[in-house]
């Protein structure tokens, strides 16, 4: 029996919570996955998966095996990185989880990292803050990019920028055809922004809680005209109709060349939410994570980040 392969199937089953989807993710048939897990149970002499027509969780002993499986798979991945990497040229996969509003920054970072270290294969996933912390703790993620103020104390942190907020709306009147950029409007208060029909993120998302907190500080409680859990939909709804939206700088930056939009900094209050990298333990991580952590502190990367964001973040 290939124990590491069985461990991968076990971790996949925990991630997908479904035998068929776990088997598909592992590129094997469902019977092959079930047989491998039964062989694992025979190897250790315990029941690992609760028996039911559908997946219903792990037994207490199964949770112990799952914890060991994660650790052994992580150790195997680190060993592979160490053996394949050369001095100054790390090789291996880097699993990055980023909150949806930070995906543009995480993606640029991954591209910059790949250009600097061609042997690194980044994977960037949009995840909630809670899912990022869980992924780091369960060793299914290597790095997270999220809100530092809500990160667990057990995680190492590295500040990258402060998330600032803007009102995005359509321009009121046409500009000359030569005007190819969005209009930078005067600052607007949160109370004034509340008078717009707003498209906002759904309430369970942390960014929405920050926005609601700012409105509360301003003494208003607007009822959104539309809600979405897809950050890309925020700018689309503004361009499609008479709505406005509240966007963080990382999402506004790509829209500055759009001629039909107006961007206004939000004040009273001025929010600056720290966003940064999160890691379980950099010192005990392999060469890939250590290279990424070091690059996140590189002035060249911060210059690129500043050039991209301009006045949208700091």
pLDDT in tens, 64-73: 999 888 888 8
pLDDT of residue 174: 47
Domain ranges of the chain: 3-74, 86-162+274-312, 165-271
CA distance 138 to 15: 10
User: 240 pLDDT exceeds 80?
Assistant: yes
Class of domain 165-271: alpha beta
pLDDT of residue 165: 97
pLDDT of residue 180: 52
Class of domain 86-162+274-312: alpha beta
pLDDT band at 176 (very low <50, low <70, confident <90, very high): very low
Kindly state the average pLDDT of the residues 55-80.
Answer: 87
Nearest residue to 73 (alpha-carbon basis) of 18, 139, 125: 139
- 153-165 tens-digit pLDDT: 889 999 999 999 9
Higher pLDDT among residues 88 and 99, named by residue: 99
User: 246 pLDDT exceeds 70?
Assistant: yes
Contact between residue 92 and residue 162 where contact means Cβ atoms under 8 Å apart: no
pLDDT of residue 99: 96
One of 3.10.20.90, 3.40.190.10, 1.10.10.10, 1.20.140.10 is the CATH number of 3-74, namely 1.10.10.10
- Give yes or no on whether 86-162+274-312 and 165-271 have one common fold: yes
pLDDT of residue 307: 75
Stated pTM of the model: 0.79
pLDDT band at 177 (very low <50, low <70, confident <90, very high): very low
Instruction: Write out the E strands in 119-272.
Output: 120-126, 143-147, 156-163, 165-170, 183-184, 188-189, 198-201, 226-228, 244-248, 261-267
pLDDT band at 259 (very low <50, low <70, confident <90, very high): confident
């Amino acid at each position: 029996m290939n124990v590491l392969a069985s461990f991968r199937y076990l971790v996949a089953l925990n991630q997908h919570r479904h035998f068929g989807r776990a088997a598909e993710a592992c590129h094997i048939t469902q019977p092959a996955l079930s047989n491998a897990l039964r062989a694992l149970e025979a190897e250790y002499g315990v029941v690992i998966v609760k028996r039911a027509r559908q997946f219903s969780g792990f037994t207490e002993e199964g949770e112990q095996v799952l914890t060991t499986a994660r650790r052994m798979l992580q150790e195997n991945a680190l060993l592979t990185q160490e053996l394949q990497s050369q001095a100054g040229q790390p090789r291996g996969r880097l699993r990055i989880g980023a909150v949806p509003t930070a995906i543009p920054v995480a993606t640029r970072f991954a591209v910059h990292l790949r250009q600097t270290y061609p042997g690194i294969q980044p994977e960037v996933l949009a995840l909630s803050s809670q899912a990022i912390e869980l992924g780091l703790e369960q060793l299914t993620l290597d790095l997270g990019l999220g809100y530092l103020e809500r990160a667990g104390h057990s995680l190492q942190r590295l500040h990258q920028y402060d998330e600032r907020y803007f009102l995005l709306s359509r321009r009121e009147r046409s500009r000359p055809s030569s005007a190819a950029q969005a209009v930078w409007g005067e600052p607007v208060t949160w109370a004034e922004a509340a008078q717009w029909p707003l498209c906002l993120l759904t309430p369970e998302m942390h960014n929405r809680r920050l926005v609601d907190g700012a409105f509360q500080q301003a003494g208003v409680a607007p009822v959104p005209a539309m809600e979405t859990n897809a950050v890309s939909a925020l700018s689309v709804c503004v361009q499609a109709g008479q709505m406005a939206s509240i966007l963080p700088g990382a999402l506004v930056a790509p829209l500055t060349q759009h001629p039909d939009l107006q961007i206004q900094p939000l004040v009273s209050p001025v929010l600056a939410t720290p966003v940064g990298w999160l890691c379980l333990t950099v010192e005990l991580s392999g060469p890939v994570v250590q290279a990424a952590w070091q690059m996140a502190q590189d002035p060249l990367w911060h210059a690129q980040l500043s050039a991209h964001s301009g006045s949208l973040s700091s």
